[in-house]
Structure 1
Amino acid sequence: MVTLNPYLNFPGNTEEAFNFYKSVFGGEFLMVQRFKDTPDGAKMKPEDQNKIMHVALPIGNGNILMATDALESMGQTVHTGNNLHLCLSPDSKAEADKLFNGLSAGGNVTMPLENMFWGAYFGMVIDKFGVSWMINHDTNQNK
């Protein structure tokens, strides 16, 4: 069964924002990954290497609030409309394809579905209503 979690983009202050959310909601981060820890991290500008590539904070029963720093050095600018994505986590590649193809009908694929270095089958699309979606199937599930 697919799960749905919000994914936030910040203009370089993800760490500050998530420390605030952690103080409000409690809990511990499931993951904090910095850009320097990615395969191309060493090629990035030094001031961007310590920025947040991915952070995840569990909230409530089975919900996860996630985020990243959108970096201008990577051509990204945060504004209303691209600061929030809905992240779907399907149980299989087939379900990922079905959801991605359905949501992309009449919309705009911003990143095609493909296998990623973090062990996921991942893609991004803005649907025909302007809603931003991420599809992230954990390929370690072997489904």
Structure 2
Amino acid sequence: MATVNVYLTFNGNCREAFDFYKSVFGGEYPYVGTFGEMPPVDGKEIPEEDKNKIMHITLPISGETMLLGSDTGGDWGSSHQQGNNFSISINADSREEADKLFNGLSDGGTVTMPMEDTFWGAYFGMFTDKFGINWMVNYDDPAKAQQHP
């Protein structure tokens, strides 16, 4: 069965926010990745001012729940505003479940990233549903070692 978590988006202060959440919840970050670690996208390098921003961070809250997050910036930063800076993140148990959930929930909505294999080893996609809610669907293939966003 799929698990559901909240994915928070910040405008450059993701690390500060997550360090605060960590001070309250405790625990350790199993994964922290920066935009500087990404390969070029469409032949474009990440701007120097965005390289140290958080691409993805994970803070386990319980055995079933994680707080997930990233910074925004560059071309995608202009749409960031408080109030729309979160998504519901679903981690599916299989590619088939990921496709079923993605296709069902995105029906009538706007796909912002179709389901595809990613450089970090996950099968991942994003959309806004017909009610204006942002979603992420992820499947981590056990045969691939890296953590997901």
TM-score by length of 2: 0.88
Specify every segment of 5 or more residues in structure 1 that has no aligned partner in the other structure, as ranges.
Answer: none
Structural RMSD (CA): 1.7
Look up the match of 1:46: 48
Q: How does 1:95-106 map to 2 (within 5 A)?
A: 95-106=97-108
Q: In structure 2, how many angstroms separate the alpha carbons of the residues matched to 1:17 and 1:39?
A: 26
Look up the match of 1:75: 76
Q: In structure 1, how many angstroms separate the alpha carbons of the residues matched to 2:86 and 2:118?
A: 21
The ranges of structure 1 where at least 4 consecutive aligned residues each deviate by more than 6 angstroms after the TM superposition are none
Q: In structure 2, how many angstroms separate the alpha carbons of the residues matched to 1:140 and 1:39?
A: 22
**Alpha-carbon deviation of 1:10?**
0.3
Paired residue total: 141
TM-score by length of 1: 0.92
Q: In structure 2, how many angstroms separate the alpha carbons of the residues matched to 1:135 and 1:46?
A: 29
**Alpha-carbon deviation of 1:61?**
2.9
Distance 1:108 1:59, change over 3 A: same
Specify every segment of 5 or more residues in structure 2 that has no aligned partner in the other structure, as ranges.
Answer: 145-149
Equivalent residues of 1:10, 1:83 under 8 A apart: yes
Equivalent pairs: percent with the same residue? 52
> Residue 109 of structure 1 is aligned with which of 108, 111, 118?
111
**Alpha-carbon deviation of 1:125?**
1.1
